[in-house]
Amino acid sequence: MWRAGRVLTVAERSTVRFCSSNPLKPSNSSSSFPRPQAEKQRRKREREKAILSSQHNAQDQAKWTEKEAVAYTAHTPPGIKKDTSLPFPSSYSPDYVESSWYQWWEKEGYFSPEQHKLTHAVDRTFSLCIPPPNVTGTLHLGHALTVAVEDALVRWRRMQGCRVLWVPGCDHAGIATQSVVERRLLREQGKQRQDFTREEFLQEVWRWKNEKGEEIYHQLRRLGASLDWQRACFTMDPAFSRAVTEAFVRLCDSGLVYRSEALINWSCALQSAISDIEVLQELSGQTMLSVPGYEHKVEFGTMVTFAYPVEDYNGEVAVSTTRPETMLGDVAVAVHPDDPRYQAVHGKQCRHPFTNRLMPIITDPMVDMQLGTGAVKVTPAHDHTDFLLSQRHSLPRITVIGEDGTMNSHCGQWLEGVKRFDARQRVVDALTERKLFRGKKDHSMALPICSRSGDIIEPLLKKQWFVRCGKMAKKAIQAVEDGHLEIIPHFYTKTWNNWLSNISDWCISRQLWWGHQIPAYQVELPDSPEWVWGRSEEEARQRAAVKYGVKPEAISLTQDPDVLDTWFSSGLFPFAMLGWPQQTADLQHFYPNSILETGSDLIFFWVARMVMLGVELTDQLPFKQVLFHSLVRDKHGRKMSKSLGNVIDPLDVIHGISLERLQEKVKEGNLDPREQAVAMEAQKKDFPKGIPQCGTDALRFALCSHKMQEDISLSISQVLSCRHFCNKMWQTLRFTLGALGDGTASLHPLSSMDRWICSRLYSTVVQCEQNFEAYELHTVTSALYSFWVHSLCDVYLEYMKPLLAQKDGGSQVQDQTDHSGNRARQVACSVLYHCVSTSLTLLSPFMPFITEELWQRLQPFRPQTAPAAASLSLQPYPTSSQLVRPPTPTLRINISRGLSLHTRCIFSRLLLHAKMHPRYKFGADISMHSSDNAIMSLNGQTDRRQNNYSAPWPRSKN
């Protein structure tokens, strides 16, 4: 599908339109190209220049040294619970922490809605599907963002007691998979696809899929995704294939699928129609590009002008084009009816210099007379706009380029069989010889390129299957306007409405062997072939017999060899994965899905089609909410793309990787030499020592810490800082376990500091509640980080450390209201246990591995009255209603004597930090009262029972 656009004028012939069988809508715009595309290209050149130049400043390079890896060596068979009674390692190591937990979660069935029996279960379901990645590839950081966000929501809802279903899956990726297997067969056996029968080739594809197709599932498990693997869904599974067939037949029966001749986007390299995922490469002028099938680079970005002599008139009409080879298919010349330059030639004819064909000079108000010569060559069989003109003026359509990209017999013997871009120069030479050539100049243009093959897209006139999208699109728009479907963030609603309001019919045919073969059959009739469809060949035969009034055995059928567009099958995913069209228990319990979370770049290709097909086939919206996240970009602002060589495998961030191996991966790709040079230079500057081992928890936390509505320029430094946070958590628990000793007292805070930290925890829980519901995950992570680092560690632990470190009950820091130092220490230990345990539970959706490890080690100290689940992943998520809201305390501290220099420095930094960075909330009003003393008042009115501690104010600059 693609939006209808304005008519291309003579200077715009360089832009090849996407496939559309609906009339194009005129526009008064005089701009040759959309400004965003030109701006995008300009920025791309600037970024490449910055990367390649010595002026590039790599200030954001990750500063790191190799950490000693600690391995978990205890014998733990897969699926057996990890032994947390072993000695606590002295420092955090991802290898140690992330070992064994996932296999245990999976074996215990914690990810299945039937098996996680929750004491706090509620009568509510939460269901969604993972956007199915292509089976051919591997995940990149964009996928990792999707997994991190969705798993955080899934784990949060599961801990709330909901029946949660998160279905994994893979897309068969018709073009990509077939291309991979074809290259493999050519490399290993020296054979083309055509050397096999269709059945033999499909066996090779399945063999490859069974060997390589599990790699993505391995990555998903490594990312900690709590998916229900028993329901894993592949779009070529038998049950899913039956759903695809059912959908096609129903849409045909309702008249929404039809077969028609129209211009489609064709890849000569793939020998197939292709979808709307083309790359529009902006060219500022003459550019030499590599094209599949050509030994030498081909020239693009130039405009050729030539003349057509006018019959019975002493004059000519000059036209311009970026594709002179298509002039063999010209059938008319169009001018604006009000253009004064051409009033005298209205109704006259031009003679084609090579075919001797007479071509009418037509008038049409859609021609822009302000651009170029004001006259337009009309080639209906090779240009989408010209196809529209041919419909308006009843013009013939002459195809001159074949499916293989060579010129056909309509061009004459001198060009027949010549490759289209080789024919380009021959045509220019022939025009020059006939003295009809009028010049060539550089011309900015957007060149459509097949993202799968790198081939230049060629519009061709072919009979294909289409889906009528107009009525379905109106329902999708209405669903949002009525509030039945919520799009988050809401500003995407305008984009949704604009695109669906101008939607074109959708070409769903693909000339491939790998995919869902179209369940349509050609009936051999004496007059002309007709088409029928059915869930099986026998059903199609019965339909044909009824339709034509003959006996079934007299019908001869031939199934269409084409397959359906991959987006057609993926558009059925939310309900086909649950067993549709059968009324399965899963379909009844979990459909419609609760939410769809995906990248904003899929709003048209996937999301809109799911909504349209879901409403049409199930009479229900496939989901109630759509949550979009933005793109993940590299440090230079470039979208992560295989074509740029800047894709980062999340496993390389989790495990670490050397610069040498990173550059080997770039060389293994099929990049243009310039793109390869840019990619490798960027890697040298960004990762001079490679990528350090950061671990899964750090990567997930870093990804969720970004605002989802803004493009994410993720740097490894950010992920590394989250690893440091993991180590902070690790060391905090080591201290906590040492302080707890033999047990904890009941939670009854007595000191002002105890009441203050509990108030900070309560406030953090409230922030998590509110922002999880609003899908503001970056605010949740910020609140959790701030509480753990600034409130718990920098204030509470630093202040209470002398008390908590005492083993004999003595104390250097006592509240006047305490009856004994021993009692104060017991209460502080209880408060510490409460804060750490609750914080780990709050962090669990984002950092499942380290929180499980630490929480399990904390369980021996759990109060006997506090029930606990076997795993933190099933523990109730803390809510403000479950906590006793502590009174808001005031804590006034005059620092002069009694505290260690380290503690005084901590307070000094806190005060200065809070003054300089007021966005960090400590729940404190902080003021400096003299050069020697500081007062920190924490929340609320003055408490007459507060304590004052005196110590010289450290005059250190730190």
Q: Tell me the pLDDT tens digit for each residue of 497-519.
A: 999 999 999 999 999 999 999 99
Cβ contact 266:455 at 8 Å: no
Give me the pLDDT at residue 845, please.
98
Give me the pLDDT at residue 813, please.
44
Residue 772 in this model has a pLDDT that exceeds 70: yes
Domain boundary residue, one of 419, 441, 459:
459
Domain boundary residue, one of 875, 896, 917:
896
Give me the pLDDT at residue 70, please.
83
Residue 422 lies in a domain: yes
Sorting pLDDT into bands at 50, 70 and 90, what band is 889?
Answer: low
Give me the pLDDT at residue 490, please.
94
Best CA proximity match to 587, nearest among 610, 609, 620, 613: 620
Q: Tell me the pLDDT tens digit for each residue of 216-258.
A: 999 999 999 999 999 999 999 999 999 999 999 999 999 999 9
Give me the pLDDT at residue 524, please.
82
Best CA proximity match to 381, nearest among 466, 275, 459, 268: 459
Q: Tell me the pLDDT tens digit for each residue of 612-630.
A: 999 999 999 999 999 999 8
CA distance 116 to 157: 13
Sorting pLDDT into bands at 50, 70 and 90, what band is 278?
Answer: low
Which percentage of the chain shows pLDDT scores above 90?
A: 58
Sign of CA dihedral 362, 366, 371, 377: negative
Cβ contact 103:142 at 8 Å: no
Q: Tell me the pLDDT tens digit for each residue of 132-162.
A: 998 887 888 989 999 999 999 999 999 999 9
Write the burial class of residue 2 (CB in 10 Å: 0-12 exposed, 13-18 middle, 19+ buried): buried
956 phi and psi, to 5 degrees?
A: -60, 140
Best CA proximity match to 265, nearest among 171, 387, 176, 177: 387
Residue 56 in this model has a pLDDT that exceeds 70: no
Q: Tell me the pLDDT tens digit for each residue of 675-715.
A: 788 888 888 888 888 999 999 999 999 999 999 888 888 78
Number of domains in the chain: 2
- For residue 634, give the amino acid letter: D
Residue 190 lies in a domain: no
Give me the pLDDT at residue 825, please.
84
What's the Rg (C-alpha) of the chain? 34
Residue 546 lies in a domain: no
Give me the pLDDT at residue 276, please.
64
Sorting pLDDT into bands at 50, 70 and 90, what band is 10?
Answer: very low
Give me the pLDDT at residue 893, please.
52
CA distance 303 to 695: 53
- Looking at residue 687, what DSSP letter applies? -
Mean pLDDT of 46-53: 66
Mean pLDDT of 730-751: 77
- Looking at residue 310, what DSSP letter applies? B
Sorting pLDDT into bands at 50, 70 and 90, what band is 812?
Answer: very low
Cβ contact 532:544 at 8 Å: yes
Give helix 696-704 / helix 141-159 axis angle, nearest 10°. Answer: 90
Sorting pLDDT into bands at 50, 70 and 90, what band is 18?
Answer: very low
Kindly give the pairing relationship between strand 278-283 and strand 445-450: antiparallel
CA distance 630 to 235: 26
CATH number at residue 363: 3.90.740.10
DSSP secondary structure letters along 658-672:
-HHHHHHHHHHS---
Mean pLDDT estimate for the chain? 83
Give me the pLDDT at residue 26, please.
33
Residue 797 lies in a domain: yes
Lowest mean pLDDT among 25-39, 208-222, 455-469, 777-791: 25-39
Full residue range of the structural domain in which residue 833 is found: 712-805+820-896
Give me the pLDDT at residue 742, please.
58
Helix (H, G, I), strand (E, B) or coil at 237: coil
DSSP secondary structure letters along 753-777:
HHHHHHHHHHHHHHHHHHHHHTT-H
Cβ contact 1:567 at 8 Å: no
Residue 209 in this model has a pLDDT that exceeds 60: yes
For 729, what's the count of Cα atoms within 13 Å in the CB-facing half-sphere? 36
Stronger pLDDT, 43 or 792, i.e. the higher one:
792
Q: Tell me the pLDDT tens digit for each residue of 170-188.
A: 999 998 899 889 988 998 9
Sorting pLDDT into bands at 50, 70 and 90, what band is 918?
Answer: very low
CA distances from 332 to 348, 360, 458, 462, 951 (A): 11, 5, 20, 21, 94
Residue 93 lies in a domain: no
Lowest mean pLDDT among 85-99, 249-263, 584-598, 910-924: 910-924
Give me the pLDDT at residue 681, please.
84
Give me the pLDDT at residue 42, please.
63
CA distance 871 to 849: 11
Which percentage of the chain shows pLDDT scores above 70?
A: 81
Beta bridge partners of 289: 298
Residue 944 in this model has a pLDDT that exceeds 70: no
Lowest mean pLDDT among 136-145, 425-434, 944-953: 944-953
CATH number at residue 837: 1.10.730.10
Best CA proximity match to 792, nearest among 747, 823, 850, 833: 833
Beta bridge partners of 558: 522
Q: Tell me the pLDDT tens digit for each residue of 532-576.
A: 999 999 999 999 999 888 888 888 899 999 999 999 999 999 999
Edge-to-edge strand list for the sheet holding 530-533: 530-533, 520-523, 557-559
Cβ contact 759:889 at 8 Å: yes
Residue 496 in this model has a pLDDT that exceeds 80: yes
Sorting pLDDT into bands at 50, 70 and 90, what band is 365?
Answer: very high
715-751: burial string, b at 16+ Cβ within 10 Å, e else: bbbbbbbbbebbebbbebbbbbbebbeeebbebebbb
Residue 719 lies in a domain: yes
Domain boundary residue, one of 440, 459, 478:
459
Residue 696 lies in a domain: no
Sorting pLDDT into bands at 50, 70 and 90, what band is 872?
Answer: very high
